[in-house]
Structure 1
């Protein structure tokens, strides 16, 4: 039931963020609370920590997107992209080392999805279009993770299949919005 509820709230959140709507953060916070429960039940400790932090980021996103300046879509600079990629690589290695000492069934995938989704969420809060490239890769990795879990999380796998497509749609919508502002 937790997995199904998290999936439903995730679909709503994905739709609203794709449309660049502030209310997405309400569904985001609820989904993250449900994901904490799911992750604990499945020993995905990286995701548990991630979802806990995401509740705070979701509240921050709600307030930031409430400001007029918080809705302008921008592209990250080359320097920012380098920083984000380095954070994903080194963060994944560090989190993987921690998870290797737990009963996490998929420490490498859990580490990657944990770190890359954290970076993507920060970019999403900041309205950086680059978030959707990271989300695209991250959603594919989550599909693999949920498929490989001992008790496959098929609803969440399905959600991430949908989110993979929504990442493409979100990129297109945000790109058009970014071009309207810069032209």
Structure 2
């Protein structure tokens, strides 16, 4: 059952990221299915920070769909923009990582409390920035994917590890595709 769920979550996760790169609003639907599946996977793997993250993702998937549909000018066509206050986002990620990691280490039997807390907090920042269509969100995802690959491999979640290797490659592609689109939109606006 665990492997079947992991394979299904992997497929839906791959589709969600692929559609995000393409700026297709269906990314949020496939993402919703993926995050629900991974709530159960991470609970059984004792990756509680990741489990909490995926519970929050359920709501962020719904908000992301809404924002991409109605968040642009005249309620359409949300544009890619650059992140402002990058240092603030990085500091927020690090502080929240320390707090969550400490709580997980102190109060639970969590595996990898600090790396798991990092992937959780950095993913929340990345997801929020993705919802807002910020180009730099992909850079957060790249770092998250690198750390997550190590965690999931060590927990013997091999399909999930493979998914995050694919996510890493897709995040790099997504960054360059969104950057190209961002520059094109800037040129068009001139």
1:16 & 1:9 partners in 2: Cα distance? 11
Partner secondary structure for residue 121 of structure 1: helix
The 5 A counterparts of 1:106-121 are 106-121=112-127
The alignment status of 1:46 with 2:53, answered yes or no, reads: no
1:71 & 1:24 partners in 2: Cα distance? 15
* Deviation per residue, 1:53-79 (Å, 9 max, x gap): 1110100000111126162000012xx
Partner secondary structure for residue 81 of structure 2: coil
The alignment status of 1:180 with 2:184, answered yes or no, reads: yes
Using the TM superposition, give the Cα deviation of residue 148 of structure 1 relative to its aligned residue in structure 2, in angstroms.
1.2
Q: How many residues align?
A: 179
2:22 & 2:37 partners in 1: Cα distance? 23
Q: CA RMSD in A?
A: 1.0
Gaps of 5+ in 2: none
TM-score by structure 1 length? 0.95
* Deviation per residue, 1:68-93 (Å, 9 max, x gap): 6162000012xx21221011100100
* Greater RCO (Cα-Cα under 8 Å, separation 6 or more): 1
The equivalent of 1:168 in structure 2 is: 172
Using the TM superposition, give the Cα deviation of residue 105 of structure 1 relative to its aligned residue in structure 2, in angstroms.
1.4
1:125 & 1:178 partners in 2: Cα distance? 15
* Deviation per residue, 1:117-158 (Å, 9 max, x gap): 110000000000000111001001010000111xx0000000
Larger radius of gyration: 2
Partner secondary structure for residue 110 of structure 2: coil
The equivalent of 2:153 in structure 1 is: 147
